[in-house]
Amino acid sequence: MNFTRDVAVVGGCGHVGLPLGLAFADRGLEVALFDLNEEAVVGVMSGQMPFQEAGCQDVLNRVAGTRLTASTDPSIVSTAENVIVVIGTPVDEHLNPDPNVVAGAVADLAPHLVDGQLLVLRSTLFPGTTALVEQELARIGLHLDVTFCPERIAEGKAMTELYELPQIVSGRSDPVLQRAEKLFRNLASQMVQLSPEEAELAKLFTNTWRYIKFATANQLFMMANDFGLDYERIRTALAFDYPRAADLPRAGFAAGPCLLKDTMQLAAFNNNNFVLGHAAMLVNEGLPLYMVSRLEHRYPLNDLTVGILGMAFKGESDDTRSSLSYKLKRILRFKAREVLCTDPFVSTDPDLLSLNDVIQRSDLLIVAAPHRAYKGLKATVPVIDIWGAEGEGTRL
């Protein structure tokens, strides 16, 4: 079949799919984005990014309506030689993964898939999901090459890391690997080959390792803080010109849509025999409660209005998915007289106030996301900043 487009991205207007589609289009490929979110599709087609991602707006301005189109019509998938699915394995409210969701999504897409296409699975997968997708396509009677090529970027750095980081590709035959490499060489120069199962674990290992590193930092922070010492002062000193400690993170909320989820997926894969991963969850998820507990010893919270600065899950982001700022808010609403929240980037929460309003009305401020806007705050009330964004120490 003669395809009229090079790439179709399923879930193409989200945080993973849209930067990827933009990058391919900016490299000269014809790209279609399929997404069920009509508002996001309309926004992309009118040249507006539906979320914040550094560098994406400039690329969208160049390619929208020319080499890139977006649609809510799934039939657009049949026009592309390479179909990239950015749906990942979800977890339920009890953090149990459902490995059948991705295979089910591919089955729903089957009427619009065409023999000879390369099907690229991109988001985090429970180990064995690529095999399930292959089995589902065989059951339906479709003949597609299937590869898992995990997304590796950090949110906010997509338009640099898509080009600079080596790309992991996987497949069960040399022709599949060659097709995957050919596609991603439009972006990256270095390729790393693995089997699908190895690639699935590589993705989970990466996010789990980061989550455990953050938990280590947060546990060390709590330890230093309980003895009246400043973790950030200690961390800065021990890492100074000392390469073996250079990757010890600052303390802070370890959140977002991937780290906890992927750590729990890895635990489930190993029959929940993952003491280190579960310990990391207890530390990271327990940090907001630890902070409030410590503040209760210093301040009469029930008489105070507390302002939370930053509701996104990380600095310089508008993404609130799984943000621990909201967990902190829930705990404080039970403890404090009033809780006020602000964020310079988040526009989806109608309860947020302006920074000036929160500063003026609060008796105590907590930096929950280290946005650059909070550096050098001119506040006359105490500012709690475990990130060290203020440069004034991290003791609680």
Q: What is the tens place of the pLDDT at every residue in 272-288? A: 999 999 999 999 999 99
CA atoms within 13 A of residue 38's CA, in its CB half-sphere: 1
pLDDT at 390: 67
Domain containing residue 65: 5-194
The proportion of the chain whose per-residue pLDDT surpasses 70, expressed as a percent, equals 99
Give the 3-state DSSP-derived string for 139-156, with helices as H, strands as E and coil as C.
HHCCCCEEEECCCCCCCC
Pair type for strands 80-85 and 118-121: parallel
Which residue from 250, 355, 366, 371 is spatially nearest to 315, judged by alpha carbons?
371
Q: Are residues 213 and 165 in the same domain?
A: no
Mean pLDDT of the chain: 95
Residue 362 within any structural domain of the chain: yes
Which token pair is 73? 């019509």
Q: Are residues 187 and 216 in the same domain?
A: no
Contact 9, 86 (CB under 8 A): yes
Count of residues making up the chain: 396
Which token pair is 68? 């890139």
pLDDT at 185 over 70: yes
Q: Are residues 283 and 368 in the same domain?
A: yes
For residues 235-247, give the mean pLDDT.
Answer: 96
Q: What is the DSSP string of 377-394?
A: ---SS-EE-TT-TTSS--
pTM, two decimals, is 0.94
- Number of structural domains (the chain) is 2
Structure confidence by residue, pLDDT tens digits, 76-92: 999 999 999 999 988 88
Alpha carbon 64 to chain centroid distance? 24
Residue 389 within any structural domain of the chain: no
Q: Are residues 162 and 240 in the same domain?
A: no
- Which residue type is seen at 381? V
Residue 394 within any structural domain of the chain: no
Q: Are residues 164 and 113 in the same domain?
A: yes
Q: CA-CA distance, 12 to 7, in Å (whole number)?
A: 11
Which token pair is 294? 């410590």
Structure confidence by residue, pLDDT tens digits, 118-139: 999 999 999 999 999 999 999 9
Alpha carbon 143 to chain centroid distance? 32
pLDDT at 189: 96
Q: CA-CA distance, 191 to 146, in Å (whole number)?
A: 17
Q: Is 221 left (phi over 0), alpha (psi -120 to 50) or beta?
A: alpha
Q: CA-CA distance, 8 to 70, in Å (whole number)?
A: 9
Residue 84 within any structural domain of the chain: yes
Residue 392 within any structural domain of the chain: no
Q: Are residues 182 and 45 in the same domain?
A: yes
Q: At CB < 8 A and 24+ separation, what contacts does 216-220 make?
A: 216/248, 216/249, 217/248, 217/249, 217/250, 217/251, 217/252, 218/251, 218/252, 218/254, 218/283, 218/284, 218/287, 219/283, 220/248, 220/251
Q: CA-CA distance, 339 to 353, in Å (whole number)?
A: 11
Residue 237: enclosing H or E segment and its boundaries?
A: helix 231-239
Structure confidence by residue, pLDDT tens digits, 89-119: 888 888 889 989 999 999 999 999 999 999 9
Range in 11-20, 26-35, 90-99 with the lowest mean pLDDT: 90-99
Give the torsion sign (CA, 249, 164, 12, 142).
Answer: negative
Q: Are residues 179 and 275 in the same domain?
A: no
Structure confidence by residue, pLDDT tens digits, 187-217: 999 999 999 999 999 999 999 999 999 999 9
Q: CA-CA distance, 279 to 211, in Å (whole number)?
A: 11
Residue 94 within any structural domain of the chain: yes
pLDDT at 378: 81
Which token pair is 243? 């390469």
pLDDT at 18 over 90: yes
Structure confidence by residue, pLDDT tens digits, 211-240: 999 999 999 999 999 999 999 999 999 999
Q: Are residues 76 and 156 in the same domain?
A: yes
Residue 42 within any structural domain of the chain: yes
CATH code assigned at 324? 3.40.50.720
Phi, psi of 339 (to 5 degrees): -125, 125
pLDDT at 394: 74
Cβ contacts of 317 within 8 Å, gap of 6 or more? 52, 155, 156, 345, 369
Residue 184 within any structural domain of the chain: yes
Q: CA-CA distance, 326 to 245, in Å (whole number)?
A: 31
Q: Are residues 122 and 27 in the same domain?
A: yes
